[in-house]
Amino acid sequence: MNARLQEKLDALPTEPGVYLMKDRRGTVIYVGKAINLRNRVRSYFTRTGDTRVFVSMLDSILGDIETVLVHNEKEALLLENELIKKHKPRFNVLLKDDKQFISLRLDKTQDFPRLEVVRKYDRDGARYFGPYSSAGAIRETLRLINRYFRLRTCTDHVMANRKRPCLLYQIGRCPAPCVYPVSPEDYGRSVNEVVLFLEGKATELVEGIKGRMKGAASELKFEEAARLRDQLRAIERSLERQKAVTTDFKDQDVFAFFREGDRILFYVLWVRQGRLNGGQAFPFGSQEFPDEELLPSFVNLYYDQGSFVPEEVLLPLDPESLEGLESLLTERRGERVRVMVPKRGEKHDLVLMAAKNAEQAFTERKRTKEETDAVLSRLQQKLNLRNFPRRMECFDISHFQGSSIVASQVAVTDGETDKSRYRKYKIKTLEKQDDFASMYEVLSRRLKRGLEENDLPDLLVIDGGKGQLASVHAAMKDLGVEKVDVVGLAKSRDQEVFDRDAESARSPERVFVLGRKDPVVLPQNSAEIFMLTRMRDEAHRFAITYQQKDLRKSRVRSALEDIPGVGEVRRKTLLRHFGSLKRVQEATIEDLAEVVGPSVAERVHAALHGHPEEEDVDPIREASLADAGATQDEKSSEGGSPAGGA
């Protein structure tokens, strides 16, 4: 350790705060918190027998240590959380935004409440139920509720503008409060029953429905009694599957973890109203720091993303900042939250259950990772790649009738899609279709940014053959990029078949490699070709989706620009007031008149709705059908969205 760092260690304060470890380039590599900064930081250099890899590396990679003093543990947790999100240090636990979980929201302050699927909790007075670990689980719950409890499913905007009941009313799954006078008391009773069902309060719910069923039968309302009987049976079957795991019927989150070396997996078990509601695993690598530091950091980041804060949080070990964590979560929930480390009883059993799930999830992911590494290794060998293709990026060019040229970049890391590295490109240097020049521009922009940020992939996969590959090679040569592998994946094509009675055969996917004359043909049922074609198909989808969205915007924007009396100021006013181009199209003349006046409103409405039969036409689908020689009747009956890139 150099003298300057030693002086810093000797002068560290004993107050609570946050410390930032930096490498010799000044990049923050770890952010930690401590009640006593001097004791915590010095422990990394004074422990004897510490075998953690990171500790042994500190002397060679550590360049500086900064500290920020705070008043208490709670402030240290808050500041640590903000600094981790800001600097994204390589040795910290990092939670991405896409880890949000789907939940159900019910706002009972509305006249006719509905269940909404949300991904974030707000302190808005509404009731939240969940989280649900999968879309399938929440769909099954909604299916049962929609069928037997008959709450409305339409949005507030649709409900306010509907003139006649929808199909759900026709099949008996909604009372249509948008059109008909529905009793608020009857609807409110259904809302309360939904709350009881989602809370798992079987006795109270079942007894109430049984009483209503008997009352309907005594009044000779046999159809209503039969409906309540079916509802009762469905509810009882569903509630039978929900097993109580505690006797105090509280909302609890149970945390546990399993680690091997620097790889760690956190597991969160969700218990709602005493019943097990599911769980989720969070795997991380390059985590050399002790469990007592990583656990509270993970818990803090988990709830900072908007996750529901329950009444109790159960942990497997006692972190240094237990009181500060409890105070912080209490503030986020708005009422008392207990953070506990149970040693016996039901709550300790829950922690053991979460730990068992963590170990199982770690083992499964380890096996999956080994299988993925084997596929990547075979891909490297068969394509003669210099790099192990852990980080791959695939590019596709798409255009509409030779114009509106766009490109997509999709990414795969360790065999899994990495949406944080997805990118969209608009071609800037071309006005007409030229796939080779477009590919050169896109790859030049990507590689230039990669050189500036020291962020280049191991393998570039290009949708196309030798021509596209040559364009990429030219871009790499011009920018001096040498350490990145690149291959081109050509779509299958029809072979010539001389036997007229034979069906059209298909050639296999071909992989073109720089410096190799003939393409590589991978086995068509192999995991390697599946990984490449999956990337190519995802790049197609991403490019087409982007292009369709751009075309829709430009079409409506052009319509607004061509309306007499609607200049730039009024266009901006309309978009600002309604929030989107789609809302401008949906607005009535009266709504538009409130913004731009009656006469201009009529012109805007006429321009956007003067040819309604053309509004539903997808220009890309129309072009593809026209290219295929479809008739106008066939065009009007076509459905779905286009597949593949242009």
CATH number at residue 509: 3.30.420.340
- Give pLDDT, residue 177: 92
State both tokens at 553: 């915007």
Same domain, 460 and 400: yes
| Domain at 41, CATH number | 3.40.1440.10
Q: Residue 256: which of 271, 268, 242 has the closest Cα?
A: 268
- Give pLDDT, residue 643: 34
Burial code (b: 16+ CB inside 10 Å, e: under 16) for 20-42 equals bbbbeeeebbbbbbbbbbbebbe
Asked if residue 13 lies in contact with residue 65, where contact means CB atoms within 8 angstroms, the answer is no
Measured CA to CA, the distance from residue 432 to residue 384 in angstroms comes to 36
* Residue 396 within any structural domain of the chain: yes
Q: Residue 5: which of 49, 44, 53 has the closest Cα?
A: 44
Q: How many CA atoms lie within 13 A of 552 on its CB side?
A: 15
- Give pLDDT, residue 495: 45
Same domain, 333 and 414: no
* Residue 244 within any structural domain of the chain: no
Structurally, the chain folds into a number of domains equal to 4
- Give pLDDT, residue 492: 61
Measured CA to CA, the distance from residue 456 to residue 436 in angstroms comes to 22
State both tokens at 340: 């506990």
State both tokens at 565: 């009396």
**Strands, E, within 56-179: which ranges?**
62-69, 102-106, 115-118, 127-132
How far is the CA of 270 from the CAs of 77, 240, 244, 273, in angstroms? Answer: 23, 18, 12, 10
β-strand partners of 510: 490
Same domain, 328 and 408: no
pTM of the model: 0.61
Q: Are strands 252-260 and 312-314 parallel, antiparallel or unpaired?
A: parallel
Measured CA to CA, the distance from residue 194 to residue 151 in angstroms comes to 9
Q: Which residues of the chain have pLDDT under 70?
A: 1-2, 47-57, 96-100, 133, 202, 238-247, 401-403, 492-507, 550-562, 610-646
Q: Which domain-ending residue is among 58, 92, 126?
A: 92
State both tokens at 24: 């010799």
Same domain, 526 and 557: no
> In this predicted model, what pLDDT tens digit does every residue of 155-205 receive, in sequence order?
888 888 888 888 888 888 899 999 999 999 989 988 998 888 887 776 777
Same domain, 465 and 409: yes
How far is the CA of 213 from the CAs of 174, 187, 188, 193, in angstroms? Answer: 19, 17, 18, 14
- Name, in order, each residue with C-beta under 8 angstroms of 42's C-beta and a sequence gap of 6 or more: 9, 12
Same domain, 350 and 415: no
How far is the CA of 288 from the CAs of 50, 260, 449, 574, in angstroms? Answer: 11, 10, 31, 54
Asked if residue 623 lies in contact with residue 403, where contact means CB atoms within 8 angstroms, the answer is no
Q: Which domain-ending residue is among 504, 530, 556?
A: 530
Range of the domain at 88: 3-92
State both tokens at 106: 């019910």
- Give pLDDT, residue 479: 92
* Residue 45 within any structural domain of the chain: yes
Same domain, 564 and 493: no
Measured CA to CA, the distance from residue 52 to residue 44 in angstroms comes to 10
> In this predicted model, what pLDDT tens digit does every residue of 214-250 receive, in sequence order?
888 888 888 888 888 888 887 777 665 555 566 677 8
Same domain, 347 and 453: no
Asked if residue 178 lies in contact with residue 162, where contact means CB atoms within 8 angstroms, the answer is yes
How far is the CA of 453 from the CAs of 87, 445, 447, 501, in angstroms? Answer: 15, 12, 10, 57
* 272 φ/ψ angles, rounded to the nearest 5 degrees: -125, 125
Other C-beta atoms closer than 10 Å to the C-beta of 559 total 18
Residue 49: exposure state from Cβ atoms within 10 A (0-12, 13-18, ≥19): exposed
Same domain, 525 and 596: no
Asked if residue 515 lies in contact with residue 386, where contact means CB atoms within 8 angstroms, the answer is no
Asked if residue 272 lies in contact with residue 129, where contact means CB atoms within 8 angstroms, the answer is yes
Measured CA to CA, the distance from residue 524 to residue 307 in angstroms comes to 43
- Name, in order, each residue with C-beta under 8 angstroms of 593's C-beta and a sequence gap of 6 or more: 601
How far is the CA of 356 from the CAs of 4, 266, 269, 278, in angstroms? Answer: 46, 11, 11, 14
Measured CA to CA, the distance from residue 177 to residue 187 in angstroms comes to 9
User: H helices of 454-567, where?
Assistant: 466-479, 527-561
How far is the CA of 621 from the CAs of 400, 492, 495, 616, 639, in angstroms? Answer: 10, 22, 27, 11, 9
Same domain, 42 and 79: yes
**Side chain identity, residue 52:** R
Same domain, 333 and 424: no
Same domain, 520 and 579: no
Measured CA to CA, the distance from residue 300 to residue 76 in angstroms comes to 11
Residue 44: exposure state from Cβ atoms within 10 A (0-12, 13-18, ≥19): buried
Looking up tokens 């003939």, which residue turns up?
Answer: 518
* Residue 292 within any structural domain of the chain: yes
State both tokens at 147: 């069928």
State both tokens at 94: 């990092």
* 185 φ/ψ angles, rounded to the nearest 5 degrees: -65, -45
* Residue 46 within any structural domain of the chain: yes
- Give pLDDT, residue 604: 82
* Residue 402 within any structural domain of the chain: yes
Q: Which domain-ending residue is among 71, 92, 113?
A: 92
* Residue 423 within any structural domain of the chain: yes
- Give pLDDT, residue 562: 66
* Residue 376 within any structural domain of the chain: no
Cα angle 265, 267, 270; round to 5:
170
